[in-house]
Amino acid sequence: MAAESTLIERLREQGISRRGFLKFCAAAASMMALPPTMVPAIAAALEKARRPSVIWLSFQECTGCTESLTRSFSPTVENLILNIISLDYHHTLQAAAGEAAEQARKQAMKENFGKYLIVVDGSLPGPDSNPGYSTSAGQSNLSLLEETLEGAAAVVAIGNCAAFGGLPKASPNPTGAVAVQDVVKDKPLINIPGCPPVPMVITGVLVQYLTFGKLPKLDEYRRPMAFFGQAIHDRCYRRPFYDKGLFAESFDDEGARKGWCLYRLGCKGPMTYNACATMHWNGGTSWPIGAGHPCLGCSEPDFWDAGGFYKAVSVPTGDTRETLLGAGIAGAVAGGAAAALARKKAKDGRAARVPVEIEELEQKL
Amino acid sequence: MTALSLDRGLAALRDEIDAPVAAFFSSCVHCGLCAQACPFYIETGDPKYTPILKVEPLRLLWEQELSLWGRLKAMLGIGRKVTDEMLEEWEPLLYDSCTMCGRCSMVCPVGNDIQSMVRKTREGMVASGHAPAGLIEASARAIRTGSPMGLTWKTLEAQIKHVESSSGLEVPVDREGVEYLALLSSMEVINFPEYLEAITRIFHHAGVTWTLSKDYFEATNAGVQIGSRDIAAELVQRIVDAAVGLRVQGVISPECGHAYTAVRWEGPNLIEKPYPFEVLHIIELLDKLRAEGRLKTSGKVTDRLSMHDPCNLARKSGVIDQQRNLMDLVAENFVDLKEHGRFQWCCGAGGGVSSNERADELRMAAFKRKKAQIEEIEPDRMVTMCATCRTQLEEGLEEFNMDIPVVGLTEIIADHLVEKGKPA
Amino acid sequence: MSDPMEFLLWVKGPMFELALTIFGIGLAARIVEIFLLGRKPNYAKPRRGELAPGFRTLISRTVADPGTFARAPFDVVVGLVWHLGFLIALLLFIPHIELINSLLGLAWPGLPNPLVDAVTAVTILSLIAVLIHRITHPVKKYISTFEDYLIWVATFLPLITGYLAYHRLINPYPLILGLHILCVEIFLILLPFTKLTHIFTAFIARWYTGATFGRKGVVS
């Protein structure tokens, strides 16, 4: 289904006033840390925007990212976003199925060639893996992606799986899963990681892209700096307790009930960059740390293999106790052998020893 | 006859590497505090006298043979090796600038007993033929004549006669089954002959049965000073043979420092078995008699006295309180040097340094540390219990124009005995 | 650094295992070798037992005698300060306690972070002073080898990177945390082959010396 009407037309159809629309633009501006003077520009851009075609490819995913996006408690904002884009292909949300769905995709690609946005959630089996691990309509994920990439303007990888490989890529990675960025090399690409990402982060990035027509400022992991530029630790409301050295040591102990820092329970906040600490979840209701659970670090690459959700940041990831014990034993054996050899050498030396005689010393006078 | 060689030296060093040595070299962090305990560094300012450096040959051997990194270096042919040249270079460091006083062992923060390692390193020096002429000559005299200074029984006999006529008492010789065999030091017999008379009178006064041995009278051990367990063992064995032959209960070491450590602590390990008799320093025996109430004295000296603890007696053997108890008997005005007992400062002459002419200048320089201690206290006289220390103090005080007489403790005790009637 | 998280996970994972392995083997070998070399039997009659004096010296050698303190106050004071500071930063900082707990199963109460932070700053400054002292003091300058300076760097780096990490002065955090952990791993790898072994063997050395002097009746 191609996008024909402008945003304003669609909004009016939905019964949303211009005032409501401008409120949204103001909210979007502040969310992107843009000054209020930008609001008219956003409004103008969005007004005129033809709803761009979005082809959403779902690969090895749990659908959590889609659930997050749609599981919103402020329908006005999220739904507005969904009305800004023309979602031409989405396994879960689309009405069509089977061949009809594939036809819709191919038609959208043809009609918007060079201009459509690809959104991916889920990781995909890489070029060296058996493509049969994940297919739709008999076509492998990789093949589908490569086919759809041809006329794409940009790619947005939503969720940790698409951005970094996520859970499928976690050890032992049975499907040979790779991230989208491992396969997409010559198209503009944004990663919006999270497991799932904060809903408003998704919508915020889309709005930014649509307003300015180019990618926002990205970090080394190609995540938008506006939402992934700060560590959880630096915005966490429990930070004063970390600084003071007050930690919960088990779930529901005195410290936990007092809302102390969750570092010792495995919080990955110090090394996780996301917007949870400020934007929260469920329309600002709460977030993991606020609910008393340590941050999993779900917007970071390989967070599943980062040691353990309940092991502190400072704890190594491997079987270090066994390693140390084994090394100690090996060393003790080696040292014992060396000492035994030395003692034998000394004993032999003593047996072969020629005592010093005074005449020998006098030779040196 | 074989010759001393580097190989024999290395074998000797190798034999000296035990658990403590390995722990010591594993722990040295080059903090340099040992230098702050060494009179030879302090009074010359030359960092080459830093104690831990003196044992570098031993350390190198340990590193090359017992540490992984050292073994690797040796395999690759890099790193310094212990050679004759190196040992020659180290000879003055080990013999001229070290008395094995042990103060460095007391202050090392990681607990290294550096003094013991100097003693061990000297074994390697001797076996490879790197020892000072003075010590070699003293050892030769000791082995051949029984005395490092060549003192003969004939000369000693003359002194015995003199003591007997002066005191009216008998000096027992070769008396069997008595309590103690008294050893003498040649240095004492020659320089401080009043010692023999003093113990004759004290033993008679206290009712101690004792004897000298004609076969062997020498307490000192040139082998320990030069650092040769072979020579040292031979000399100790002579003492053991004499003591066992005379069936005595104990052996008395005279006013000497290293003689006591040689007999008391090193001896049994040189002959590799325990003694069937006990060993006491004369000061230990005198204090024992004092505690048993067997020393009756009268009168006290009133001049200001201070004391020099011989390193081998105090720090290295734990005889510290005894001499002070004895001083309390006979001195009214005794004041200790600021650092005394286990932390006293070496006089600079022990450990073979005074037998080593090449070290004369260094020995006098090291004395300045003692001199500073004495100047702090300004005594009228100094008391000590070792002939070498006493000689060094006298020489040093004279060298620096300080008019402070030095006296032996046994002598003072003897001078204050309440005389019983002389035997008929 | 294009992938800070990969770097961090590498230093927390396989690199840590490697460092621990080298450290474990090397240190165990060194200590067992020391003990198994043994001592020759001592036939001289002791004045008293050597066990207790050994343990006494093991602890008491930490404090310098007045004479040494008078002669070398810098070494005594600054040496104690930086060692204590290092130990506090290492053992009383809660994230480190978590690490040690995961390794050895032991844990204990920690100090508040700002306190550890202040101690770390003092330790860093003391270490710099100690380096200057080593370069300028006649004895230390004379006896120091390349290893002394290498070990200074190996000791300083974990402290400075830890400080930078704690204060998040270098971004992104996984990079500086990874660097800190890497510096610690370098320290661990160097430990068994350098004078850093004194961390463990000094107590063995102190015991032997305390025992030697103690059986002769001398408190050392």
Question: Does residue C1 carry a pLDDT above 70?
Answer: no
Amino acid at B91: E
Closest residue in B to A352 (Cα) is B11
Q: How many residues does chain C have?
A: 220
Reply yes or no on whether the pLDDT at B421 is more than 60. Answer: no
3-state SS track over chain C: CCCHHHHHHHHHCHHHHHHHHHHHHHHHHHHHHHHHHCCCCCCCCCCCCCHHHHHHHHHHCCCCCHHHHHHCHHHHHHHHHHHHHHHHHHHCCHHHHHHHHHHHCCCCCCCCHHHHHHHHHHHHHHHHHHHHHHHHCHHHHHHCCHHHHHHHHHHHHHHHHHHHHHCCCCCCHHHHHHHHHHHHHHHHHHHHHCHHHHHHHHHHHHHHHHHHHHHCCCCC
Cβ-Cβ contacts under 8 Å between A and B: the total is 60
Neighbors of chain B with 3 or more C-beta pairs under 8 Å = A, C
Among B388, B194, B411, residue whose Cα is nearest residue B286 = B411
Q: DSSP E strands: which ranges in B217-367?
A: 250-253, 278-281, 305-308
Number of helices and strands (H, E) in chain B? 22, 7
Binary contact (A244, C168; C-beta < 8 A): no
CA–CA distance, A324 with B163 (Å, rounded to integer): 73
Q: How far is CA C28 from the centre of its chain?
A: 16
Instruction: Confirm if B9 and B87 have CB atoms less than 8 A apart.
Output: yes
Q: What is the pLDDT of residues B152-189, one digit of tens each?
A: 999 999 999 999 999 999 999 999 999 999 999 998 89
Nearest chain A residue (CA) to B144: A358
pLDDT tens track for B225-240: 999 999 999 999 999 9
Which of B163-195 are b and which e, b meaning 16 or more Cβ less than 10 Å from the residue's Cβ? beeebebebeeeeeebebbbbbbbbbbbbbebb
Mean pLDDT of B126-146: 95
Q: Identify the residue with better confidence: B346 or A338.
A: B346
pLDDT at A82: 65
> What residues does A281 pair with on adjacent strands?
A286
What's residue A18's pLDDT?
81
Residue B312 confidence (pLDDT): 97
- Residue B355 has a pLDDT of 94
- Residue B269 near residue C42 (C-beta atoms within 8 A): yes
A342 in C contact zone (CB under 8 Å): yes
Q: C141 contacts in B (CB within 8 Å)?
A: 47
Contact C113 A271 (CB under 8 A): no
Instruction: Classify strands A124-125 and A177-178 as parallel, antiparallel or unpaired.
Output: antiparallel
Tell how far CA B115 is from the center of its chain: 13
C134 Cα to chain A: minimum distance (Å)? 33
Q: Any CB–CB contact under 8 A between A302 and chain C?
A: yes
Mean pLDDT of the B293-317 span: 96
Contact B220, B253 (CB under 8 A): no
Q: Which residues of A touch B143 (CB under 8 A)?
A: 358
CA atoms within 13 A on the CB side of B118: 30
Contact C95 A313 (CB under 8 A): yes
- Could you tell me whether strands A135-136 and A124-125 are parallel, antiparallel, or unpaired per DSSP bridges? unpaired
Tokens linked to C2: 């294009």
Place of tokens 């919960």: A248
* CA-based nearest residue in chain C for residue A265: C98
Cβ-based burial of B302 (10 A; exposed 0-12, middle 13-18, buried ≥19):
exposed
Q: Does domain C4-36+45-215 have CATH number 1.20.950?
A: yes
Q: Which pLDDT value is given to residue A2? A: 44
CA–CA gap between residue C111 and residue B29 (Å, rounded) = 29
Phi, psi torsion values for A155, nearest 5 degrees:
-125, 135
Say what the pLDDT of residue A347 is: 84
What are the pLDDT digits (tens) for C64-95?
Answer: 999 999 999 999 999 999 999 999 999 999 99
- pLDDT grade for A273, boundaries at 50, 70 and 90: very high
Classify residue B350 by its DSSP letter.
T
Q: What percent of chain A has pLDDT over 90?
A: 55
* B130 contacts B121 by C-beta, under 8 angstroms: no
Domain boundaries, chain C: 4-36+45-215
C53 touches chain B (CB under 8 A): no
Is ipTM over 0.85?
Answer: yes
Residue percentage of chain C with pLDDT more than 70? 99
- C-alpha distances (whole Å) from C118 to each of A117, A314, C111, C112 are 52, 20, 11, 10
- Over residues A283-308, mean pLDDT: 94
CB–CB of B373/B339 below 8 Å? yes
In chain C, which residues have their Cβ closer than 8 Å to the Cβ of A268? Answer: none
Nearest to C173 among A270, A327, A336 (CB): A270
CB-CB: which of A338, A349, A360 is closest to B3? A360
Task: Specify the amino acid at residue B352.
Answer: G
Asked if the peptide bond before residue A240 counts as cis, ω within 30 degrees of 0, the response is no
Dihedral pair phi/psi, residue B75, rounded to 5°: -65, -40
Is 70 exceeded by the pLDDT of residue B375?
yes
User: Is the Cβ–Cβ distance between B213 and B174 less than 8 Å?
Assistant: yes
Q: Which residue has the tokens 């959880």?
A: A232
The helix (run of H) or strand (run of E) holding residue A270 is: none
Compute the distance between CA of residue C99 and CA of residue C90 in angstroms, rounded to an integer: 10
Q: Write down the H helix ranges in A49-118.
A: 64-70, 75-84, 98-111
Distance (Å, rounded) from C-alpha B40 to C-alpha B103?
Answer: 12
Residue B140 near residue A362 (C-beta atoms within 8 A): yes
Q: What is the pLDDT of residues A52-108, one digit of tens each?
A: 888 999 999 999 998 888 765 544 445 655 667 788 888 888 888 889 999 989 999
C79 touches chain B (CB under 8 A): yes
Residue A363 to residue B129, Cβ atoms within 8 A: yes
User: Cα separation of B91 and B97, whole Å?
Assistant: 9
CB–CB contact A318 C94 (8 Å): no
| pTM as predicted | 0.91
Domains and CATH numbers, chain B: 6-131 (1.10.1060), 139-291 (1.20.1050), 305-415 (3.40.50)
* Overall average pLDDT of the A280-291 stretch: 90
How far apart, in whole angstroms, are the C-alpha atoms of residue C165 and residue A191? 26
The model's pLDDT over B250-290, given as tens digits with 9 standing for 90+, comes to 999 999 999 999 999 999 999 999 999 999 999 999 999 99
Judged by a CB distance cut-off of 8 A, whether residue A243 touches chain C is yes
pLDDT at C173: 95
**Is pLDDT above 70 for A198?**
yes
Query: Around Cβ C82, how many Cβ atoms within 10 Å?
Result: 21
